Amino acid sequence: MMWYWGNGAQWWAMLIGFLVMIGLWGAIGWVIWYFVTGSTSQSEQSSGPDDAKSILDQRLARGEIDAEEYRQLREVIGGEGTRVANGHSAVSTGGQR
């Protein structure tokens, strides 16, 4: 039986193997990061006014706000905010102009 006694793998072949290994571990790390951050960020996102109204209801139930403030904030959330003489909302809506 004859054995191959050549020079072995060339330097470029080892470099390619090394880069492929780094790419594989990088891809595995990225997949793990994607699923971990994707699952946490989706649970923290609010879907709109319904969530704001439920938060407002909870604040009223905990006693953080009184009934009058609750009514005022509920109007603002509903988009019917209190209007002043010039037609602008009396309560700021978060930077909207």
pTM: 0.38
Could you report the per-residue pLDDT of 25-51, keeping only the tens digit for each? 999 999 999 999 887 655 555 555 678
Domain boundaries, the chain: 7-45, 46-97
Q: What is the pLDDT of residue 54?
A: 87
3-class DSSP string for the chain: CCCCCCCCCCHHHHHHHHHHHHHHHHHHHHHHHHHHHHHHHHHHCCCCHHHHHHHHHHHHHHCCCCHHHHHHHHHHHCCCCCECCCCCECCCCCCCC
